[in-house]
Structure 1
Amino acid sequence: MILLAKLKRLKQNKGFMKYFKNTSWLFAEKILRVFVGIFIGIWIARYLGPEQFGLLSYAQSFAALFTVFATLGLDQIVIRELIKDESARDKLLGTAFILKLFGAFAVLIAIACTALSGVNTSAASFLILIIASSTVFQSFNVVDFYFQSKVMSKFVAFANVISLAVSSLIKVTLLLNESSLITFALVSLFDAFILAGGYIYFYLQNNLKIIKWSFDGVLAKALLKDSWPLILTGVVISVYMKIDQIMIGDMLGNKAVGEYAAAVKLSEPWYFIPTIIASSVFPSIINTKKNSEKAYYERLQKLYNLVVKIALVIAITITFLSDWIINLLYGSEFSQASSVLSIHIWAGVFAFLGIASRKWFIAENLSMLSFWRTFFGMVINIVMNILLIPCYGIQGAAVAILLSQISVAYIFDFLCHQTRAKFFMKTKALLLISGK
């Protein structure tokens, strides 16, 4: 019995170290990306100024509303299926790749039609089309799904670091040579190309062959049947995360978008923390549920507790330092961004919870409920933006996103009987009450 207990503990320790190392690789890459991204992003913003930076941010936000369709909501579904049955790897990856590729081309056609309709200016439409073209190369991120399912994210981290290094070098070169706005949009397309090449390289280095990928029509229908609620959820998430910048642009102009986007660039990058934590422990959470329902919910509570504590430290620190941060990093041209940052950063507390709890919906096969949760938040955000932007400008948009995040990640759980237990778990986390 003692020997069996020791073997069990050894197995648990090995499992813990496996997930810890996986998380560490992802954290290291994302931390590097955040700091390099903030540094380069601030340099670009200062170089372009609020007006042109606002136009670029507007184009990125508008493109995001379309490009979310190209993912087809397949990410977590494919990872789940790979965990269940690795023998179907080549068929799963091949089918997901073809579906995402078709989705990418459908998005480009939709954007081209929008451009011809005259919804945006010709300059904005051209920028949007360039940025959205990156979705073609993003089809290769199915390789990332495989590495996630095998808890081998160090290869994903390597590919991302290579892409980041090349991209940063190009952007610095463009800045030093005082390049035009359009060249900065083209870099996003090249980024996707380099990242796809990195994924392919590390996949092949693991003695795996893309040539073995195959498309299965029956499997494609099954995947889309499971993923269509996630497609809708992704669209709704994109709308409530990006619609503020589009509405600001339409109501207040590009300069206001630039000031607002400057604050968002310092607020939203932190969202990588719960994303990485949740993605790394997702296989573990699913496996725990097979063995013990109690342990399953204990792990969820610990996850909520952890992400809230991290988010509160970030929010409190940045709130007190927002004026100093904006003046130091962006300069007086972006002075309005400081008040936006001090509000917007608090949306992160609930965004952290929302990202962490999203895994629960997938594990419980409640994708449709996840959609309605996100739809609820989107409606709140749009309505609040309509009411607050004309009266309070970009500060009103920051309040709108805060209210929408609270609605999605917290209030909805209380309103729905299927998620009410999660509301009390999150309340414990928000009140910093320890416990299982």
Structure 2
Amino acid sequence: MNPIQRLAKNIGISGISQIIVAILTFFLLIYIARFLGEAEFGIYSFAISFTSLFTIFADIGISQLIIREISRDKNLTDEYLINSFIIKFFLAFITFALIYITINLMGYPQNVIKIVYLFGIYTILVSFAQMFISIFQAYEKMEYAALILILEKIILISLGIFVMISGKGLTELGLVYVFAGIIEVLIAIIITSFKISKPKPEINLLTWKKLTIGSIPFGLNTMFAMLFFKIDTVLLSILKDDVVVGIYNAAYNPILALSFIVSGIITSTIYPVMSRYFTISKDSLETITLISSKYLAIIGFPITIFCLVFADILINFFYAGNFIDAIGAFQILALCIPIRLVSTITGTHLTSINKQGLRTLSVSICAILNIILNLILIPYISYIGASIATVLSELSLYFIFIFFIDRYYKKIGMSKILLKPLIASLTMGIVLIYLKDFNIIINIILAVLIYLVVLIILNTFTKRDKILFKGILKKADK
């Protein structure tokens, strides 16, 4: 298999697996929310978010570092694999100790603390599995990574649903997560042993130093990303109660799932091309950035409008008549969709021009902004405040990315690209408001037709787009 065929295969596998994992995760979360109700779903969401904040201590960026290093030199596999495993073994104890100390100091009731312990163990197990998945990525064996991630979600869904149907509670659900994490690690070890390497246990302290120091930039990026996405749930739990946390996450989970499905596929496809064009054709890099952003905006804006108009119907459909209070938060959070999709491209652009440090700085600034906004807004307007804080933080991240691109690359005129999809979406939205009482299927068909007609009238789809996009992909194959 030549490099182009291998790249195409890995992109396809990565994209399909991300779609499957995101869909499975979405259905699992919807099912859990339906069965647990607002308060217990709030505890579950808090436990997941709280323990996720400690991911940095369980990995410190090692998994991302070994992708880069082993992909460059396969001879490092045995040395890095065994020493990374040992380092992460010690980090696991440190991570759980930090979770134990922190949650007990926060004064939560014992039932919540017990759930946090279980999800803390799951977080650590996932971190171990991620190390092996990184090895597969370095060897461009994405089918192994996809197999592990999909199997884990299948175990979670099948056993999780069984536990809930059997009338069990959060503790049993937490045990299911721990079991799934153990199976994930075991499968990863087995595949690595048979398909990649069987390293001998040789400790090298110099390698420990190299891994620890080299992983810090990656770890910081992970830390701020986790703060950006998870701190709102934790702060809601601290400042409000479990019911509020449950309502907020019932609104946020569908938005996150949808955003990750689309952005994950695009990033895995576009990043290699962007990185290549930074060195051989900067004009083409600008072109692919603009085209990708335009078409993600074309996808994102109408989804936002549809969520705004039909929020009540969607929430009722997702949660079978429960979580009605999540409708307002869902409408606010829907504004994040096009912003996040386009920010995926602009953030990837920064990484492709070797400005990953600026990307980390951007995320860290917005993570801090998110914390400040949550602390200001939550005490007064609860989960609505958390929703507003999320949207403002996402918008700030978009503008900071654009600022750094304009300063360290060139001005790319992003606003012109986004204007036509926005106008077409608003036009579609006005029509849908008046037709809302029609059957939702008819509304979807009408929405698509109206949107496409307005896009065509505005001359959004140009021959230049098609020619340039084909040219970029053709050159990228060479």
Q: TM-score, normalised by structure 1?
A: 0.86
Q: Does 1:32 align with 2:20?
A: yes
Deviation string for 1:375-423 (max 9, x for gaps)? 2111221222223223332122111101101112x22135447756477
Task: Provide the aligned C-alpha RMSD in A.
Answer: 2.9
Q: How far, CA to CA, are the matches of 2:288 and 2:74 in structure 1?
A: 25
1:174 Cα shift?
0.4
Aligned match of 1:151 = 140
Contact 1:326 1:334 in 2 (8 A): yes
Aligned match of 2:156 = 167
**Bigger shift: residues 227-236 or 306-315:** 306-315
**Bigger shift: residues 398-407 or 17-26:** 17-26
Q: Does 1:52 align with 2:40?
A: yes
Q: How far, CA to CA, are the matches of 2:150 and 2:71 in structure 1?
A: 26
Match of 1:139 among 113, 128, 133: 128
**Bigger shift: residues 171-180 or 247-256:** 247-256
1:305 Cα shift?
4.0
Q: How far, CA to CA, are the matches of 1:285 and 1:212 in structure 2?
A: 38
Q: How far, CA to CA, are the matches of 2:418 and 2:341 in structure 1?
A: 11
Q: Does 1:121 align with 2:109?
A: yes
Q: How far, CA to CA, are the matches of 1:82 and 1:304 in structure 2?
A: 32
Q: Which has the larger radius of gyration?
A: 2
Runs of at least 5 residues in structure 2 that lack an aligned partner in the other structure: 422-459, 469-478
Aligned counterparts, 1:29-428, within 5 A: 29-137=17-125, 138-206=127-195, 208-212=196-200, 215-270=203-258, 271-408=260-397, 410-416=398-404, 419=407, 421=409, 424=412, 426-427=414-415
1:218 Cα shift?
2.8
Deviation string for 1:293-314 (max 9, x for gaps)? 4445544445444544443343
1:368 Cα shift?
3.6
1:108 Cα shift?
0.5
Deviation string for 1:274-307 (max 9, x for gaps)? 2343235544544454544444554444544454
Q: How far, CA to CA, are the matches of 1:77 and 1:301 in structure 2?
A: 30
Residue type matched to 2:154 in 1? A
Residue type matched to 2:309 in 1? F
1:266 Cα shift?
0.8
Q: How far, CA to CA, are the matches of 1:430 and 1:331 in structure 2?
A: 35
Q: How far, CA to CA, are the matches of 1:337 and 1:157 in structure 2?
A: 33
1:425 Cα shift?
5.9
1:88 Cα shift?
2.0
**Bigger shift: residues 162-171 or 212-221:** 212-221
Q: TM-score, normalised by structure 2?
A: 0.79
Count residues in correspondence.
422
Residue type matched to 2:241 in 1? G
Residue type matched to 1:195 in 2? E
Runs of at least 5 residues in structure 1 that lack an aligned partner in the other structure: 1-10
Percent identity between the aligned chains? Answer: 23
Q: How far, CA to CA, are the matches of 2:276 and 2:74 in structure 1?
A: 15
